[in-house]
């Protein structure tokens, strides 16, 4: 009886060990799935004043970052950069205000404005625009020029991923950009007034820009989409 009891205990111990090992393996596999976000070496972010605005004391803007974050670390570009740095501490993040493209896409000169960024061969380009599109914009023309902008960055660098981000106010060009995935809508931000800088600045134009909270929401929404990117998105 004593030997039979010892044998039963030994069998139960082995079964318990196998279950524990299976649990550990499941946890490891889950960690691998969670940590499947791509690591980027060179990121280019194209946008408008929300992405970058130089100081303009004439209107009461003293920042040198995305309007209207209260400090540099609070704009969506720098919040995103922190996420990229977790995956790759040496990541290079370059930014460019392409407001002239929004206002007059037809005559925007890619080589004059973007050649150095294109030639740096980024592995991710984020195009976050939409607030300055003219109300009478020719959407067919914009479609062609937006396609040309994407293809410009793919020239000599076919595996670059180009992620589009829509207007925080909602814009007619969201319907154009969504045709060229990956893309993410951001217009839900406008539903909460605290996402904007109303009452924080005297200039009404600055007030219409995202607050620190709005910037966090933009960064979080973009990062959620970025975590879903796979190499297949480059094709």
Say whether both 169 and 69 belong to one domain: yes
Q: Is residue 22 over pLDDT 80?
A: no
For residues 134-155, average pLDDT: 96
Model pLDDT for residues 117-131, shown as the tens digit of each residue: 999 999 999 999 999
For residues 180-203, average pLDDT: 96
Say whether both 28 and 43 belong to one domain: no
Say whether both 130 and 215 belong to one domain: yes
Model pLDDT for residues 99-110, shown as the tens digit of each residue: 999 999 999 999
Q: Is residue 8 over pLDDT 80?
A: no
Task: Look up the domain containing 71 and give its range.
Answer: 38-234
Alpha-carbon span 133 to 156, nearest angstrom: 29
Model pLDDT for residues 57-102, shown as the tens digit of each residue: 999 999 999 999 999 999 999 999 999 999 999 999 999 999 999 9
pLDDT value of position 23? 46
Put residue 37 in one of left, alpha, beta given phi > 0 → left and psi -120 to 50 → alpha.
Answer: beta
Say whether both 68 and 155 belong to one domain: yes
Say whether both 31 and 53 belong to one domain: no
Say whether both 140 and 46 belong to one domain: yes
Q: What are phi and psi of 149, to 5 degrees?
A: -65, -45
**What total number of domains does the chain contain?**
2
Say whether both 72 and 168 belong to one domain: yes
Say whether both 46 and 143 belong to one domain: yes
We report the CATH number of the domain holding residue 183 as 3.40.50.1110
Say whether both 217 and 149 belong to one domain: yes
Model pLDDT for residues 47-60, shown as the tens digit of each residue: 999 999 999 999 99
pLDDT value of position 233? 87
Say whether both 104 and 143 belong to one domain: yes
Q: Is residue 134 over pLDDT 70?
A: yes
Look over the chain and give the mean of its residue pLDDT values, rounded to a whole number.
89
Say whether both 151 and 199 belong to one domain: yes
Say whether both 114 and 27 belong to one domain: no
């Amino acid at each position: 009886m004593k030997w039979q009891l010892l044998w039963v205990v030994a069998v139960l111990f082995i079964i318990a060990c196998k279950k524990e090992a299976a649990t550990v393996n499941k946890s490891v596999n889950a960690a691998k799935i969670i940590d499947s976000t791509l690591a980027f070496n060179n990121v280019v972010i194209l946008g408008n004043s929300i992405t970058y605005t130089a100081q303009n004391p004439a209107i009461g803007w003293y920042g040198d970052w995305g309007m209207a974050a209260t400090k540099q670390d609070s704009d969506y570009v720098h919040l995103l950069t922190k996420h990229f740095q977790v995956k790759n501490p040496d990541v290079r993040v370059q930014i460019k205000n392409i407001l002239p493209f929004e206002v007059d896409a037809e005559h925007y000169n890619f080589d004059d404005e973007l050649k150095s960024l294109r030639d740096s061969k980024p592995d991710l380009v984020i195009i976050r625009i939409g607030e300055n599109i003219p109300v009478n914009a020719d959407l067919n023309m914009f479609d062609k020029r937006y396609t040309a902008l994407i293809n410009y960055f793919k020239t000599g660098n076919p595996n670059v991923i180009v992620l589009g981000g829509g207007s925080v106010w909602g814009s007619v060009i969201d319907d154009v950009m969504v045709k060229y995935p990956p893309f993410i809508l951001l217009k839900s931000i406008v539903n909460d007034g605290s996402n904007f800088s109303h009452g924080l600045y005297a200039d009404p134009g600055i007030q219409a820009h995202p607050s620190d909270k709005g910037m966090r929401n933009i960064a979080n929404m973009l990062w959620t989409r970025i975590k879903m990117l796979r190499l297949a998105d480059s094709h």
